[in-house]
Amino acid sequence: MNRYPIWKYAILVVALLIGVLYTLPNFFGEAPAVQVSSAKATVKVDAAVLQRVEEALRAAGLSPDYVSLEGNSVRARFDTPDNQLKAKDAIQKALIPDPADPAYIVALNLVSRSPTWLSALHAQPMYLGLDLRGGVHFMLQVDMQAALTKKAESYAGDIRTALRDKNIRHGGISRDGQAVEIRVRDEATRTATSNLIADQFTDLQVVVTPDGAEFKLRASIKPEATRRVQEQALKQNITTLHNRINELGVAEPVIQQQGLDRIVVQLPGVQDTAKAKDILGRTATLEVRLVDESTEARAAERGQGAVPFGSERYLERNGQPVIVKKQVILTGENLTDAQPGFDGQTQEPTVNLTLDAKGARIFKDVTRENINKRMAIILFEKGKGEVVTAPVIRSEIGGGRVQISGRMTTMEANDTALLLRAGSLAAPMEIIEEFTIGPSLGADNIARGINSVVWGMLAIAAFMCVYYMLFGVFSSIALGVNVLMLVAVLSMLQATLTLPGIAAMALALGVAIDSNVLINERIREELREGVSPQMAIHAGYERAWATILDSNVTTLIAGLALLAFGSGPVRGFAVVHCIGILTSMFSAVFFSRGLVNFWYGGKKKLKSLSIGQIWKPGADGTTAVKPE
Amino acid sequence: MEFFRIKKDIPFMKHALVFNVISFITFALAVFFLFSRGLHLSVEFTGGTVMEVAYSQPADLAKVRSTVSGLGYGDDVQVQNFGTARDVMIRLPVQKGVSSAQQSEQVIGALKAADPEVTLRRTEFVGPQVGEELVHGGLMALAMVVVGIVIYLAFRFEWKFGVAAIIANLHDVVIILGFFAFFQWEFSLSVLAAVLAVLGYSVNESVVIFDRIREAFRRYRKMTTTEVIDHAITSTMSRTIITHASTEAMVLSMFFFGGPSLHNFALALTIGILFGIYSSVFVAAAIAMWLGVKREDLVKAQRKEGDPNDPNAGAVV
């Protein structure tokens, strides 16, 4: 009866093998590496970059363990930090000719030392949290009210323009909180205005209130549009943050949305919080200027002669110089949105800009006077300008909707729109949480965490072996398998391991042994009642199972509650806690039974079990409770 | 080896009243201290800045305190050793008008001026709005655990057991909080996690006993409810002690090797485990008895058991 069919052993062996395989990378430690990733949205890291890195290293006489392209970055691994630093310099020199304008980020990183065949199986070590590897963590709150106010402001301008276009005479338009208020004098105008808003501004809803003989129309943003505005604001802020963090040269930054209005930024390995904060909070500016089309300027563009007075020289992204006038027509403040799109007629990729009312008015005047001339959109960051695009003005552009088209691929249109948007934050942000963990503290935390798990486990295993003899050995092995499975699952999921996570691992083991104690005690009890050894094993496991299930489910309920409502360290705890409960059911019940069956299952005339001394109450002449 | 050689069922339930009185007094004391002293909440809940700095020599706390207070924080600054004599933890309140970044830079700058050997190990800044959410999240988690466990136990056993288990174990939670209030140990997020984990863990203890009670009701038809409960507690005694000792060994290992970050976490677990044994064994069973559990409550609701010949009945998850 205590035999597993062969397939069950097969499952055990396979599970064990997979467990070992995925746990393995955690033992190799980390090696110094140099990571090359793109610093600009328009620059792609591909096989060509890989080749250039390889060449640069060869030229510098450095032999990396390997150089490979992983996702969007090239990584080269080295044996010593010394070579790593040399390699960083060499690669930087080769890839970045102009340090003021880097196209790539060359950062120091640590990569797993595990052999490539393991990496090929996607077996990676656990992802360590900041409290274990050191770094900074920020939580930023996006001011959504400000984003909505900004949006309402731009609607106010748009409505004003639209009414003027249709020759509808209104008695004043103003922004009131996050709504637009329009005063009209008579019934006919009211209907016309309402219809116009219903037609052209589908995201707005209008409430009309009579105000003496006049009417007051209050147009507010619809709830679903509000949600969209907020989502876009958050996304734009994340994009902007991405671009800025790229400059820090962090190997693996984490920038994530959290909840509806928060962004978490984690920069592993960064210690200089001041600089990080400075960069996160900086604002880039966008300027629209006219291109200087004079003969001198044309000559200067070709590199012949000086830049004329009143103009400046900037580079386009492809490196071509453009001479633009110093006078600024519009700034990024007037640009409310930039989206990639397609021209309705030619099906060409386009970038569609939306300007606010003030911007639209200026833009209309400027375009009217400068047909067939070029304008340049320049992005300033760190006081350094770059021409994003310099299109030719074909006609007068009114209404604040600008379409840039021609000679663009879809990819370029996307990138340009991104760059234009990235110039500004959609809404202001505030740092509401910040942690810095020094690298030495991180290393200490790992050592402490591992020490507590190891010593705790040894203490439990020693006791189990003494108290339950062979069954204790089985239980201890099962406990070891539990750790193995837990680490394997965490590595597979690439869940972030934190110090509370290690604590949860220790606690999970402390709780997991409960299942084995329950089983062993049950078996002893059955033996005490005079049941045959084989029967006792069978009954012990079976009877204990219901209890084990019940108690694990209640513990799991607590774990899930923590997972659902916890944040930060509590979540890290909860993830490991829940996974630990699940793996413990596998190891303590299924696996330990497998061991017992393997050892005892085949023995037909089993006289006794090595489960420690069984003391029988009847043996020394007293009576005990017996089942009827 | 066998530690527990119990010849007869121990008549625990005879003394149920005594146990409940003891529980009630501890509980009342805990509540009293919670209200009179309050919890020493960590910066995660209150908002503010915590800095951990390390010196190469044992630090002169008085000097550190005066340096930091000199920056205009007055007496609100807490300076204490953290782990070793060389590590110092500084806790600053939230200051209007000064960002967290400036705060920590100012402080480390001033400390560096006083002693260039000092290094910054960790800073932590939490805005006040985050703290409120954490309290809210913590309470929601607690509510979910309570409701979830009562429902599960009501479904698996009977509502009386669910209520008994949750009352017994909530009283553990209050007692842990009482200890933290009395000794003014810092109550951080990880302690909160420990408290909720303890809740799940000690309910599990009650479940083991309830399981036995159900089994005994079925097997020993002539026993009274009190005898059944006594029998269940006695027969699980050995397992209870061994399991808890094992878990406690793990927790102690965290306490001694886990460093200061896990110190209070392990402390909360230790109190939770010790009181968990007591409350789930004596209090939960006693409450279930007062609520009037009967054989009929459990035996009529006999579940369909799995195939007894299936050796793998245990491995279905």
Instruction: Read off the pLDDT of residues A479-532 as tens digits, 9 standing for 90 and up.
Output: 999 999 999 999 999 888 888 899 999 989 988 898 999 999 989 888 888 888
Q: Which residue of A has its CA nearest to B193?
A: A570
Q: How far apart are alpha carbons B143 and B261 in whole angstroms? A: 27
Distance spanning both ends of chain B, measured CA to CA: 33
- Name the 3-class secondary structure at A32: strand
Show the beta-strand stretches assigned E in A251-358: 254-258, 262-268, 285-291, 311-315, 321-331, 335-342, 349-355
Assess whether pLDDT exceeds 50 at residue B317: no
Q: Which residue of B has its CA nearest to A545?
A: B314
State both tokens at B105: 């830079």
User: Do residues B90 and B110 touch, judged by C-beta distance below 8 A?
Assistant: no
Q: Given the structure tokens 């990024």, which residue do they identify?
A: A332
CA nearest to B273, candidates B244, B246, B299, B307? B244
Q: Which H, E and C letters describe A368-389, residue by residue?
A: HHCCCCEEEEEEEECCEEEEEE
Residue B228 with chain A: CB contacts under 8 Å: none
Amino acid in the structure at residue A374:
R
Task: Compute the nearest-CA separation of A256 from chain B (Å).
Answer: 17
Q: Which residue of B has its CA nearest to A592?
A: B315
- With b meaning 16 or more CB within 10 Å and e meaning fewer, what string describes A561-595? bbbebbbbbbbbbbbbbbbbbbbbbbbbbbbbbbb
User: Do residues A33 and A77 touch, judged by C-beta distance below 8 A?
Assistant: yes
More confident residue, B246 or A211: B246
Cα of A522 vs its chain's centroid, Å: 48
| Phi, psi (degrees; rounded to nearest 5) at A429 | -130, 160
Residue B248 with chain A: CB contacts under 8 Å: 510
pLDDT of residue B315: 45
Task: Compute the nearest-CA separation of B299 from chain A (Å).
Answer: 16
Q: How far apart are alpha carbons A558 and B41 in whole angstroms? A: 22
Residue A524 with chain B: CB contacts under 8 Å: 2
**Least confident segment among A16-25, A295-304, B152-161:** A295-304
CA nearest to B236, candidates B204, B268, B198? B204
pLDDT of residue A273: 67
Q: Which of A562, A578, A593, A611 to mutate to test the interface with B (most CBs of B within 10 A)?
A: A562
The answer to whether the CB atoms of B220 and A625 lie below 8 A apart is yes
pLDDT of residue B62: 84
At a CB cut-off of 8 Å and minimum separation 6, what does A597 contact? A2, A3, A4, B311
Residue A546 with chain B: CB contacts under 8 Å: 211
Q: How far apart are alpha carbons A85 and A89 in whole angstroms? A: 6
- With b meaning 16 or more CB within 10 Å and e meaning fewer, what string describes A279-311? ebbeebbbbbbbbbeeebbeebbeeeeebbeeb
pLDDT of residue A461: 94
- Name the 3-class secondary structure at A409: coil
List pLDDT tens digits, range A230-283.
Answer: 888 888 788 778 777 776 667 778 888 888 888 888 888 776 666 677 667 655
Cα of A261 vs its chain's centroid, Å: 15
pLDDT of residue B251: 93
CA nearest to A292, candidates A169, A376, A354? A376
Amino acid in the structure at residue B317:
V
| Phi, psi (degrees; rounded to nearest 5) at A314 | -125, 160
Assess whether pLDDT exceeds 60 at residue A625: no
The full set of domains in chain A, from first to last, is 6-11+438-616 (1.20.1640.10), 31-113 (3.30.70.260), 145-225 (3.30.1360), 283-430 (3.30.1360.200)
Does residue B191 belong to the interface with chain A, where contact is any CB pair within 8 Å? no
Assess whether pLDDT exceeds 70 at residue A44: yes
The full set of domains in chain B, from first to last, is 12-40+130-299 (1.20.1640.10), 48-126 (3.30.70.3400)
Closest partner residue to B207 (CB to CB) among A274, A550, A564 is A550
Q: Which of B52, B246, B256, B264 to mutate to test the interface with A (most CBs of A within 10 A)?
A: B246
Radius of gyration of chain B (CA): 25
CA angle (A458, B252, B258) in 5-degree steps: 90
Radius of gyration of chain A (CA): 34
- Name the 3-class secondary structure at A5: coil
Chain A and chain B share a number of CB contacts under 8 A equal to 294
State both tokens at B60: 């002169």
User: Do residues B161 and A550 touch, judged by C-beta distance below 8 A?
Assistant: no
Q: How far apart are alpha carbons B198 and A525 in whole angstroms? A: 28
Alpha helices in A115-176 (DSSP H): 116-120, 130-133, 144-165
The answer to whether the CB atoms of A550 and B211 lie below 8 A apart is yes
More confident residue, B229 or B77: B229
Residue A610 with chain B: CB contacts under 8 Å: none
Residue A444 with chain B: CB contacts under 8 Å: 259
The answer to whether the CB atoms of A514 and B246 lie below 8 A apart is yes
**Residue A142 is inside which H or E element, if any?**
strand A135-142
Residue A560 with chain B: CB contacts under 8 Å: 144, 148
Q: How far apart are alpha carbons B189 and B195 in whole angstroms? A: 10
Residue B249 with chain A: CB contacts under 8 Å: 456, 459-460, 463, 510
pLDDT of residue A422: 60
The answer to whether the CB atoms of A593 and B314 lie below 8 A apart is yes
Residue A432 with chain B: CB contacts under 8 Å: 126-127, 129-130
Residue B145 with chain A: CB contacts under 8 Å: 557-558, 561
Q: How far apart are alpha carbons A87 and A58 in whole angstroms? A: 10
Maximum average pLDDT range among A351-355, A604-608, B175-179: B175-179
List pLDDT tens digits, range A547-597.
Answer: 888 888 888 888 898 888 877 778 888 999 999 999 999 998 899 999 999
Show the beta-strand stretches assigned E in A390-537: 401-405, 429-437, 496-497
Task: Compute the nearest-CA separation of B304 from chain A (Å).
Answer: 12
**Least confident segment among A253-267, A581-595, A614-628, B176-190:** A614-628
Task: Compute the nearest-CA separation of B50 from chain A (Å).
Answer: 9
User: Which residues is A517 bridged to in the sheet?
Assistant: none
Q: How far apart are alpha carbons B6 and A625 in whole angstroms? A: 11
Closest partner residue to A460 (CB to CB) among B138, B246, B261 is B246
Closest partner residue to B313 (CB to CB) among A438, A545, A613 is A545
Closest partner residue to A521 (CB to CB) among B238, B250, B258 is B238
Confidence category of residue A419, pLDDT binned at 50, 70, 90: low
Q: Which of A468, A563, A565 to mutate to test the interface with B (most CBs of B within 10 A)?
A: A565
Closest partner residue to A448 (CB to CB) among B145, B196, B257 is B257
Assess whether pLDDT exceeds 60 at residue A382: no
pLDDT of residue B170: 86
Average pLDDT of the residues in A103-110: 80
More confident residue, A628 or A597: A597
Residue B222 with chain A: CB contacts under 8 Å: 628
Q: Which residue of A has its CA nearest to B200?
A: A555
Q: How far apart are alpha carbons A188 and A205 in whole angstroms? A: 19
More confident residue, A101 or B276: B276
The answer to whether the CB atoms of B104 and A436 lie below 8 A apart is yes
List pLDDT tens digits, range B28-68.
Answer: 999 999 999 988 888 888 888 888 888 888 888 888 888 88
**Quick count: other Cβ atoms within 10 Å of Cβ B83?**
17
pLDDT of residue A409: 79
User: Which residues is A404 bridged to in the sheet?
Assistant: A351
- Name the 3-class secondary structure at A360: helix
**Least confident segment among A428-437, B206-215, B257-266:** A428-437
List pLDDT tens digits, range B8-21.
Answer: 788 888 888 888 88
Average pLDDT of the residues in A312-338: 80
User: Do residues A432 and A139 touch, judged by C-beta distance below 8 A?
Assistant: yes
DSSP A392: B
Q: How far apart are alpha carbons B247 and A511 in whole angstroms? A: 6
Cα of A277 vs its chain's centroid, Å: 19
Q: How far apart are alpha carbons A112 and A131 in whole angstroms? A: 18
Closest partner residue to B101 (CB to CB) among A277, A538, A546 is A277
CA nearest to A132, candidates A453, A572, A507, A576? A572
Q: What DSSP string runs through chain B? A: -------S---GGGGHHHHHHHHHHHHHHHHHHHHHT--EE-HHHH-EEEEEEE-SS---HHHHHHHHIIIIIGGG-EEEEESEEEEEEEEE---TT--HHHHHHHHHHHHHHH-TT-EEEEEEEE-HHHHHHHHHHHHHHHHHHHHHHHHHHHHHT-HHHHHHHHHHHHHHHHHHHHHHHHHT-EE-HHHHHHHHHHHHHHHHHHHHHHHHHHHHHHH-TT--HHHHHHHHHHHHHHHHHHHHHHHHHHHHHHHHHSHHHHHHHHHHHHHHHHHHHHIIIIIHHHHHHHTT--HHHHHTTPPPPPPTT-TTGGG--
Closest partner residue to B137 (CB to CB) among A518, A565, A593 is A565
Average pLDDT of the residues in A211-240: 84
List C-alpha distances in Å: A600 to A360, A478, A595: 86, 16, 9
Q: How far apart are alpha carbons B96 and B99 in whole angstroms? A: 8
Q: How far apart are alpha carbons B112 and B120 in whole angstroms? A: 10
Assess whether pLDDT exceeds 90 at residue B217: no
Confidence category of residue A626, pLDDT binned at 50, 70, 90: very low
Assess whether pLDDT exceeds 50 at residue A438: yes
Q: Which of residues 146-185 of B touch A (CB under 8 A)?
A: 148-149, 152-153, 156
Closest partner residue to A558 (CB to CB) among B196, B220, B239 is B196
More confident residue, B230 or B108: B230
Q: Which of residues 59-98 of B touch A (CB under 8 A)?
A: none
The answer to whether the CB atoms of A542 and B313 lie below 8 A apart is yes
Cα of B12 vs its chain's centroid, Å: 26
Assess whether pLDDT exceeds 60 at residue A621: no
Assess whether pLDDT exceeds 90 at residue B288: no
The answer to whether the CB atoms of B315 and A590 lie below 8 A apart is yes
Q: Given the structure tokens 């479940």, which residue do they identify?
A: B207
Does residue B262 belong to the interface with chain A, where contact is any CB pair within 8 Å? yes
Q: Which residue of A has its CA nearest to B121?
A: A438
pLDDT of residue A107: 81
- With b meaning 16 or more CB within 10 Å and e meaning fewer, what string describes A218-249? bbbbeeebbeebbebbbebbbbbbebbbbebb
Q: How far apart are alpha carbons B98 and A19 in whole angstroms? A: 50
Q: Could you give the angle at which helices A410-422 and A223-246 cross, rounded to 10 degrees?
A: 90
The answer to whether the CB atoms of A551 and B121 lie below 8 A apart is no
Q: Which of residues 216-255 of B touch A (CB under 8 A)?
A: 219-222, 231, 235-236, 238-239, 242-243, 245-254
pLDDT of residue B303: 46
pLDDT of residue A471: 92
Residue A586 with chain B: CB contacts under 8 Å: 315, 317
Does residue B189 belong to the interface with chain A, where contact is any CB pair within 8 Å? yes
Of how many residues is chain A composed?
Answer: 628
pLDDT of residue A40: 67
User: Which residues is B119 bridged to in the sheet?
Assistant: B54
The answer to whether the CB atoms of B261 and A562 lie below 8 A apart is no
Does residue B56 belong to the interface with chain A, where contact is any CB pair within 8 Å? no
More confident residue, A397 or A318: A397
- Average predicted confidence (pLDDT) for chain A: 83
pLDDT of residue A271: 65
